[in-house]
Amino acid sequence: MKKLTILILAMGLFGLFSCKKDETKVVLTYFNPAKIVTPTADSIYTLIKEKKDSILFTITWNAAQYNLTDVVKPTYTLEMDTIGNNFSKPITLSTTQDYSFPIRVGAMNDFILGIFKGKADSLATLQFRVKASLVATSPAANNISEVITLEFIPYSSVVIVTPIYLLGDATSALWVNTDALEMTHIGSEGEFAIVEHLSGAGKFIKFIANLGAWAPQWGTDADGTSEEGNLSYRPTEAVPDPVAIPSPDLEGDYRIVADTANLLYYVSWTSSELYLVGDGCDAGWTPGNGIAFTKVSPGIFTLTTTLKAGGLKFLETTTGWPPQWGTDASGTSNFGPLVYQPTESVPDPANIVSPGAGTYTINLNLATMKYEIVAE
């Protein structure tokens, strides 16, 4: 009986210590955050327009170190912001499990002048940091590197070009030359674009150089169609009017391009509705869940919504994939060119990479074929 009592007591003590051991929790911490290795802090860079496609520098960092050896590989988020802003609305340059990110001269210039509203030929001071995260959706799992500061002198990317204007009874301006619609210079010499709602068959358009005057003007020739053709130039009132360009038969929003250097024009149907999809937003990759943009004016769309890590695209309908909009290899998480897929016969454009978790405003311009994603 005595032996039995001792055995029961021993088993109870063993169970007690076992329970205490089971309640022990190992807290995951980090020994050292990631550290930016290159470029050297406080460096100054003068940006040169002729080198816009060259690599300005490659930002590199070392790995974050944790107290456990069998954790998943961290995801690193490289952020940039203006000095004094304390990363309240940072720009996400990259979200990766690698340890480097190259940035081109032109991209940095666009960030400074476009996103941060800097001035050409003036010093801009920016700060950079790297966040390491084991669980992308949990800010508590982040550890953040020390901040480095770099200075830049951007170049002017503004090309001063005298605008041209669209008018015609197919447009909202009608044939009132004082109300003609200003077109946007889109980069190539003499090339201008606008998105306008055209009123359909039996209507026409032309282009003029000066508000309130009929010369100089551009029309077309006998072979011009509602989709494309040659531009015929009328330099002065002494030259007869060129033929007006016919409107497409179907009423709707159209992207109209006038190439006054090569004397060509193009008219193509474009989106009157747009929807956001992708695993970088709440809609996922289900067209029926697409989040509607607000149409500000023909070709101009905006949407403020929450995003997360992943890819994004823009659809014209919620019933299928094409027509859709993506980007190309030069597109970033904050701005870039739009690439259009009208039908399945055209390859899918690349996804736009979301800047990560947060609330953002997405602005689209279908005349300039550009997108912009700005943190709120």
Residue 146 tokens read as 């020390």
In which domain, by residue range, is 95 found? 30-153
Residue 2 tokens read as 């005595």
- Asked if residue 254 is part of any domain, the answer here is yes
Q: What's the domain count of the chain?
A: 3
Tell whether 236 and 148 lie within a shared domain: no
Report d(CA 373, CA 260) in Å as an integer. Answer: 32
Q: Which of 190, 338, 336 is nearest to 265 (CA)?
A: 190
Report d(CA 373, CA 376) in Å as an integer. Answer: 10
> Which of 153, 185, 202 represents a domain boundary (last residue)?
153
- Asked if residue 5 is part of any domain, the answer here is no
Tell whether 106 and 174 lie within a shared domain: no
Question: What are the beta bridge partners of residue 150?
Answer: 126
Identify whether the C-beta of residue 346 lies closer than 8 Å to the C-beta of residue 339.
Answer: no
- Asked if residue 257 is part of any domain, the answer here is yes
For residue 183, what is the domain's CATH number? Answer: 2.60.40.3620
Question: What are the beta bridge partners of residue 194?
Answer: 256
**Backbone phi, psi, residue 205, to 5°:** -135, 160
For residue 122, what is the domain's CATH number? Answer: 2.60.40.10
- Asked if residue 65 is part of any domain, the answer here is yes
- Asked if residue 9 is part of any domain, the answer here is no
User: Quick one: CA dihedral 244, 246, 251, 254, positive or negative?
Assistant: negative
Tell whether 130 and 68 lie within a shared domain: yes
Position 32 scores a pLDDT of: 81
Tell whether 285 and 316 lie within a shared domain: yes
Residue 365 tokens read as 């311009």
Residue 329 tokens read as 């290899």
Position 141 scores a pLDDT of: 53
Residues of the chain with pLDDT under 70: 1-31, 67-71, 135-142, 158-160, 188
DSSP-derived secondary structure letter, 9:
H
Report d(CA 135, CA 133) in Å as an integer. Answer: 5
